[in-house]
Structure 1
Amino acid sequence: MRAIIKEQDTVVVRDIEQPRVQSADDVVICVKIAGLCRTDVFMADGLIQGKDTVILGHEFAGVVAEAGADANGLTAGERVTVMPVMPCGECGFCNAGAKDSCQNTTMLGIHHDGAFAEYIRVPANTVYRLPDNLSFTQGAYSEPVAAALSVMKAGISPQQRGFIYGSNRFAQLILRIMQSYGFNNVVIHDPQAEKLEDNVYDFAIETLATTQAMEKIFRAVRPRGTVVIRSRKHEPVGIVFDVAVKKELTLQAVNYGPFDEAIALMADGRIKVDDLLGSVYALEEFSAVFAASKKGESSKVFFKPESGPCAE
């Protein structure tokens, strides 16, 4: 099968052996489509530490090709998507049912072979059936929706006034999710546009973490307000301690929301995402697509196999 592979300091497309079921809970999925994420680009550029040799990609949907005997009843032909972040299943958080907070997670496309390939093997407990009314492309967008859904864990309420810092696709997704939960007094702030007023908002959600951004956010939030941190920065970001302390601000970092709820938000029509979904490319076009993504993309781009059973 064809796959986009990170090997030491280079990324290539080449033929490798197709994965097969090895354990009773294994599921092999024929990848119909896979979305490109900044994490994939960071991996390609060596900014994230992972396996020396690994297939990239973690946002995807497809069809079950083969399933083990203990794979939660999954059978060949079922349409599925996958939560790519894998909790350890053994820590206190996992045992308490709070797998979103597991600190020992591993991830597809970083620690395990990912989805920029014709087939992928994953544990059954990461697989979610895709509702019939969702396309494969929408199903592949479940992971970004789950990431955006995490802001609902921040202890903020619909009665409060807030803003989302960052004029980007992720900010748009967060806004739509919040509106679906009754947050009607939330706006997106474009850092290149108007100036933020000081001491106006009950909460802020950052999607673009820089030292300058955090200073603006801290000053815009009222005393005893909440700043929700969502970005995954790979370099240090400074914060204005004197402002945070004087205002007694709450800093709440969030990770992921429930994956099944993310799927349901789209399937039930509570959020629309089609306008956030963009072009589809062949695996062989990865180099140009990766380069373009570094300049910013207004919509999510995807890869899909151009030949073989998964392309049908």
Structure 2
Amino acid sequence: MKALNLYGIEDLRYEETTPPEIDNSNDVIIKVVATGICGSDNSRYKKLGPYRAGTPFGHEFSGTVHSVGDDVKHLSIGDAVTGCPAIVCHKCEQCEKGAYSRCENLYVIGSYEPGCFAEYVKLPAHNVLKLPNNVDFDTAAMVEPSAVVAHGFYRTTMKPGATVAVIGCGSIGLLALQWAKIFGAAKTIAIDIDPNKLEIAKTLGVDYIINSKEENLNDVIKTLPFNIDVAVESAGSPFTIGQVLTLPSKGGEVLLLGIPYSDIEINREHFEKILRNELNVIGSWNGLSAPFPGEEWHASLHYMSTGKIKVHAMISDYLDLAQGPAIFDAIVNNKKHFNKVIFHP
């Protein structure tokens, strides 16, 4: 099969690769139809390099069941599916509690096992979910990031009628604005420095947009006729991780979804917001709960099927997998503007 294999920093090759085989009775091999680039894939390509040189990476995908092990009963050849890419041990203390996102041995495909930037990918059967009939493959390729966002919102205590602000309107942020409405937000605020992303947020029904490059964010927040109950950081920027602490009203919540890839320093003013405003600062990792892979996955598929989670406005490019090396180079070296990129192997 053909795959995108990562050999080193900015060393990505589209080449012939050994396809996966059924080794265990609960294995499922999936023919990949759509697979998306995650922000963490860009960081792996640009800054971190592979876990294992020459391994296909990628972990957001959908496809059809190609073959199954003898013990797999809930899936049939040809079923349209998506897959949870997180592999957990099911043995450690956290797994025994059902806190799978905190598994001591968690990893995702594309690291120690081959990922989905390939024609075929393999997962354990309990990681594979059937698609509702009205959820297309491109939408289903974004169930994983949706589940990650949902996991964060399940960790908050937000109530219907809340105001939610999201800083950083990439894919995670745009999904967060939609999940905020699902959780009952009366008002949503999108904050970013990219007017293109803010325009997408508008099309997805956000109530207010703030371009924090053109306006002073603190000044704008002070003029709002309402308080912010929950502030979501989804950029992973050292700057916005401090800035988000200034957004909620006293007693509010801060949900941290963005992953920083450099050290973070929080200045005194921002840190004191946690203390003086008695903020509840919530870290969130992955998108798993019990029963595995969790309510986040089933809820994502449900709301995609009802149209409350829309992803097509977020996707800028649908490309052949063979273009992968050139596209990753263009993304991380700012040669062209992209929103979400979906490959079709």
TM-score normalised by length of structure 2:
0.82
Deviation for aligned residue 1:46: 4.4
Aligned with residue 171 of structure 1, among 156, 170, 173: 173
Alignment of 1:154-303 (within 5 A): 154-190=156-192, 191-194=212-215, 195-196=217-218, 197=221, 200-239=227-266, 240-257=270-287, 258-294=296-332, 295=334, 299-303=339-343
Give me the whole-angstrom Cα distance separating, in 2, the residues matched to 1:211 and 1:245: 20
Partner of 2:4: 4
Counterpart AA for 2:43: F
Q: Distance in 2 between matches of 1:158 and 1:92?
A: 34
SS in 2 for 1:183: coil
Runs of 4+ with >6 A deviation: none
Given the superposition, is the C-alpha separation of residues 202 and 178 from structure 1 closer, same or farther in structure 2, using an over 3 Å criterion? Answer: closer
Aligned-partner Cα distance in 2 for 1:96–1:268: 32
Flag the 1:182–1:22 CA change in 2: closer, same or farther, 3 A. Answer: same
- Deviations 1:218-263 (CA, angstroms, capped at 9, x unpaired): 2232222211111111211122333322222221011244212111
Are 2:138 and 1:137 equivalent residues in the alignment? yes
Alpha-carbon distance change, 64 to 211 in structure 1, aligned in 2, over 3 angstroms? closer
**Shift in Å, 1:275:** 1.4
The 1:110/1:229 distance shift into structure 2, 3 A limit, reads same
CA deviations on 1:72-113 (whole Å, 9 max, x unpaired) are 432211111101112221122322223233242110112210
Greater CA drift, 193-202 or 146-155: 193-202
* Overall identity of the aligned pairs, in %: 26
Q: AA paired with 2:309?
A: I
**CA distance change for structure 1 residues 236 and 84 in 2, over 3 Å: closer, same or farther?**
same
In angstroms, what is the RMSD of aligned CA positions? 2.1
| Structure 2 contact 245–274 (Cα < 8 Å) conserved | yes
- Paired amino acid for 1:253: G
CA contact (8 A) 1:40 1:109 kept: no
Q: Which residue of 2 aligns with 1:101?
A: 102
Match of residue 196 from structure 2: none
- Give aligned pairs, total: 305
**C-alpha spacing 1:186/1:284, structure 2 compared with 1 (3 Å):** same
1:79 is matched with 80
Q: CA deviation at 1:216?
A: 2.7
Which consecutive unaligned segments of at least 5 residues does structure 1 have? Answer: 306-312
Provide, for residues 131-176 of structure 1, a one-character-per-residue CA deviation record: whole Å limited to 9, x for no partner.
1111111111111111221231222222333311123333222111
Matches of 2:31 and 2:262 in 1, distance apart? 36
Deviations 1:112-142 (A, max 9, x none): 1011111111111111111111111111111
Does the 8 A contact of 1:60 with 1:82 survive in 2? yes
The amino acid across from 1:169 in the alignment is S
**Pairing 1:22-61 to 2, within 5 Å after superposition:** 22-47=23-48, 50-61=51-62
Q: Relative to 1, partners in 2 of residues 1:120 and 1:211: Cα closer, same or farther, differing over 3 Å?
A: closer
8 Å contact 1:275–1:299 — kept in the other structure? no
2:64 aligned partner, one-letter code: V
Instruction: Note if contact 1:158-1:185 (Cα within 8 Å) is conserved in structure 2.
Output: no
> How far has the Cα of 1:298 moved from its partner?
5.3
Instruction: Identify if the C-alpha distance between structure 1 residues 96 and 75 changes in structure 2 by more than 3 Å, giving closer, same or farther.
Output: same
